[in-house]
């Protein structure tokens, strides 16, 4: 799969026997896979998207995957954000870990931390949808049908969903290359209609995903910790 073109200048000594290992949420699969080629020494492992709902389990699941690759990985990158503190405390005994310095995946989808901050400051009440969320049926309607209705019945489930999202005013679909926009648009608009929200679309960016896969891992965009040290919370909370 993929990495920097000049391996001699790469500080991690990547090759096919010692690749960069990316451990990422499956919601990013479309964006990440679209940037990789067979010639690149990057190995990607996707974990269940539902981990964002159980952040207390996230660190343990990530560390299990780190243990599986510990004997050969030259470098580890996490395709996660702070995710309700789910990554805090994660460590690798043998490798440096780098992780995007974001709270969630929306900044990655939009291309930068600044793009996310600008969008949030312009309108905080935005619920974002991506191809990954829709594919995994983790959009509001998918969550309603797959999780809430079986647990509490339709009437209570619909009330609960509307109450949970009552402070949102817009649903915004983030598009990216290769997406079936007609299908995604239809589903996103169904969500907006059901919840009484306004619908918009924005074009996503692969800039942050390229940095995640190929570097550089600048401190303005990534939190990196040396072998044996745990990922802290503080850098994610700083401007």
CA-based nearest residue to 83, from 108, 66, 64: 108
φ and ψ at 228, to 5 degrees? 90, -15
- Name residues of the chain where pLDDT drops below 70: 1-10, 49-53, 178, 239
Q: Are 127 and 164 in contact (CB under 8 A)?
A: no
Q: Where are the beta strands (DSSP E) in 7-138?
A: 20-25, 42-47, 75-79, 97-100, 126-129
φ and ψ at 235, to 5 degrees? -60, -30
φ and ψ at 129, to 5 degrees? -125, 145
CA dihedral 174, 201, 236, 208 (to 10 degrees): 50
**What is the C-alpha separation between 216 and 200, in angstroms, rounded?**
32
pLDDT of residue 239: 65
pLDDT of residue 145: 95
Q: pLDDT by residue (tens digit) across 106-159?
A: 999 999 999 999 999 999 999 999 888 888 888 999 999 999 999 999 999 999
Please report how many Cα atoms fall inside a 13 Å half-sphere around the Cα of residue 24, on the Cβ side: 23
CA-based nearest residue to 47, from 32, 68, 33, 29: 29
Peptide bond into 93 cis (omega under 30): no
**Which strands form 42-47's sheet, in the order they lie side by side?**
42-47, 20-25, 75-79, 97-100, 222-225
Q: Are 165 and 127 in contact (CB under 8 A)?
A: yes
pLDDT of residue 10: 66
**What is the C-alpha separation between 117 and 140, in angstroms, rounded?**
23
Q: Are strands 97-100 and 222-225 parallel, antiparallel or unpaired?
A: antiparallel
Q: What is the DSSP letter of 144?
A: I
pLDDT of residue 4: 38
pLDDT of residue 3: 38
């Amino acid at each position: 799969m993929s990495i920097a073109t000049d391996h001699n200048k790469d500080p991690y000594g990547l090759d096919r026997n010692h690749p960069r290992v990316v451990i990422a949420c499956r919601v990013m699969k479309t964006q990440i896979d679209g940037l990789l080629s067979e010639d690149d020494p990057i190995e990607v492992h996707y974990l269940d998207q539902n981990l964002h709902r159980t952040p207390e389990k996230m660190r343990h699941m990530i560390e299990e995957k780190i243990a599986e690759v510990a004997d050969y990985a030259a470098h580890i990158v996490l395709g996660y954000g702070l995710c309700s503190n789910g990554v805090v405390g994660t460590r690798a005994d043998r490798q440096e870990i780098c992780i995007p310095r974001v709270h969630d995946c929306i900044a990655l989808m939009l291309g930068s931390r600044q793009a996310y901050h600008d969008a949030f400051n312009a309108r905080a009440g935005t619920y974002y949808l991506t191809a990954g969320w829709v594919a995994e049926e983790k959009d509001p309607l998918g969550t309603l049908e797959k999780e809430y209705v079986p647990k509490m019945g339709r009437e209570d489930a619909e009330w609960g969903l509307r109450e949970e999202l009552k402070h949102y005013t817009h649903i915004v679909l983030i598009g990216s290359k290769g997406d079936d926009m007609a299908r995604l648009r239809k589903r996103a608009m169904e969500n907006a209609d059901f919840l009484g929200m306004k619908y918009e679309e924005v074009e996503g960016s692969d800039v942050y995903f390229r940095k995640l896969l190929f570097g550089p891992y600048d401190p303005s965009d990534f939190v990196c910790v040396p072998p044996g040290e745990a990922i802290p919370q503080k850098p994610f909370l700083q401007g």
